[in-house]
């Protein structure tokens, strides 16, 4: 929803599908059970990202909010780097709305790009 590419979401859906199939195989689950597990996994990963994207898109359509966001982003080099990482999906965008996705060191690890 932010950049229109969908690459990060494609990877997430592939991982969710593989995990659902692997787990279903370990439990000898039916294809319907595997399908339900997959749908649940997408609700845990993609749904929060899409909710946040809708909120941000709505806010960025307002000039005052957009100027404020740009100003806040530039307050510190650290914050600027984290926002860049967030925009380019170096970590899950919905971390703000999905605290269960936080992992130790998420913001401290090196970025995927310079």
Model confidence pLDDT, tens digit, residues 15-55 = 999 999 999 888 898 999 999 999 998 888 788 878 888 88
Model confidence at 67: pLDDT above 60: yes
Burial class (CB in 10 A: 0-12, 13-18, 19+), 11: exposed
- Percentage of residues in the chain with pLDDT exceeding 90? 28
Looking at every residue in the chain, the average pLDDT score rounds to 83
How many Cβ atoms from other residues are within 10 Å of residue 32's Cβ?
9
DSSP state for residue 9 in the 8-state scheme: H
How many Cβ atoms from other residues are within 10 Å of residue 91's Cβ?
18
Task: Give residue 48's pLDDT.
Answer: 80
Task: Give residue 18's pLDDT.
Answer: 93
Measured at the CA of 108, the angle between CA 55 and CA 95, to 5 degrees, comes to 25
The pLDDT of 55-65, averaged and rounded, is 89
């Amino acid at each position: 929803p932010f950049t229109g590419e969908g690459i990060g979401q494609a990877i997430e859906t592939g991982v969710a599908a593989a995990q659902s199939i692997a787990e279903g195989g370990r439990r000898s689950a039916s294809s319907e059970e595997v399908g339900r597990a997959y749908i649940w996994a997408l609700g845990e990963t993609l749904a929060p990202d899409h909710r946040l994207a809708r909120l941000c898109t709505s806010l960025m359509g307002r000039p005052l909010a957009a100027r404020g966001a740009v100003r806040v982003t530039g307050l510190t080099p650290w914050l600027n780097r984290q926002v860049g990482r967030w925009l380019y999906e170096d970590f899950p965008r919905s971390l703000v709305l999905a605290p269960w996705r936080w992992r130790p060191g998420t913001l401290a690890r090196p970025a995927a790009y310079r």
